[in-house]
Amino acid sequence: MFNFLFKKENRVEELLYSYIENFNLIQEHFDKAILSYMGEGQYEEFDFLKSRTHKFESKADDIIDEINNLMYGKVLIPDSRQDIMFLLHSIDKIPGTMENILFSIKYQQIEIPSDIILQLKDLIRISMESCRTLSKQIKKFIENKKGIRSLLNIIDKNESHCDYIEKNLIKHIFNSEIDPFLILQLKELIINIGNISDQADIVSKQVNILSIKRRV
């Protein structure tokens, strides 16, 4: 009824949902891109998906900039302003990591050995699941719904699982006969992919704290 009084607030809300939508698109394209790279030489498709991922990542930055500008215009009460900006800057590290991974694969032309592909796919699958769960958790936070804690548990479990796979993979490549230079490239790639679920876990815990903080 009083929506006309809160035009800027409505715009921030719209942008926040659009950021989450965009975040889902980034991870969807990242997932497809990396899987196509690991597939049978689908480099053209990889290039296309990499550029799409980059496009959505830039869009995410634009959305954050617009929200930032609106926040400087004193939209929302200070506590909500602080919580939302803190959360956005924290989530935004994930698309950045995804883009860096695709960038390093493309320009380092990393040759992924076939014996680690299955485990690497597992690592990516679980990381993507964490990202999707994180999107749901953030939506629940915005909509002030219950279930934030249970989603945190799923993300936390995924993060432990990813850590386990990550360590296994690193151990495996260092015990293999592959070229030492490639070992270092692969190690960096594995750690970067592992960082996705680590960051998702960090953000998820922050969302949980913010939701507890908002209860009176």
Partner 1 sequence: MYSLLGGIFLGWSLGANDASNVIGTAVSSRMIKFWTAAILASIFIILGALISGQAGIETLKGLTSFNLSQAVISSIAAAITVTIMTLFGLPVSTSQSVVGAIIGISIINHQLNFGGLGKVLICWFTTPVGSAVITVIIYKCFAFFYNHLKIGLFGLDRLLKFGLIISGSYGAYVLGANNVANVTAVFVGAGKLNVFAAALIGGVSIAFGVLTFSRPVMETVGKKLVKLDPFSALMVSISLGVTLHIYTVIGVPVSSSQAVVGGVLGIGLVKGVSTVSMQTLKNIFFAWFLTPVVACIIAILITFGSYLEYMGPN
Nearer to partner 1, 88 or 196 (CB): 88
Other CB atoms closer than 10 Å to residue 77's CB: what's the count?
8
Site pattern 78..117 for partner 1 (x: CB under 8 A): xxx---x---------------------------------
Query: In angstroms, what is the minimal distance from the CB of 130 to partner 1?
Result: 22
Q: Is 155 exposed, middle or buried (0-12, 13-18, 19+ CB in 10 A)?
A: buried
- Chain center to CA of 156: 14
E strand or H helix at 47: helix 43-72
Q: How many residues bind partner 1 (CB under 8 A)?
A: 20
Closest CA to 126 of 100, 84, 152, 165: 165
CA distance 124 to 90: 20
The CA R_g of the chain, rounded to the nearest whole Å, is 19
Q: For partner 1, which residue of 25, 76, 105, 169 counts as binding (CB under 8 A)?
A: 76
Candidates 37-45, 71-79, 108-116, 183-191; binding stretch for partner 1 (CB under 8 A): 71-79
Considering the complex, what minimum distance in angstroms separates the CB of residue 153 from partner 1? 22
By CB under 8 A, tell whether 74 contacts partner 1: yes
Is 138 in contact with 207 (CB distance < 8 Å)?
yes
Which residues in the 127-146 window bind partner 1 by CB under 8 A?
141-144
CB of 94 to partner 1, least distance (A): 21
Told to check if 157 binds partner 1 by CB under 8 A, we report no
Residue ranges in contact with partner 1 by CB under 8 A: 2, 6, 9-10, 12-13, 74, 76-80, 84, 141-144, 214-216
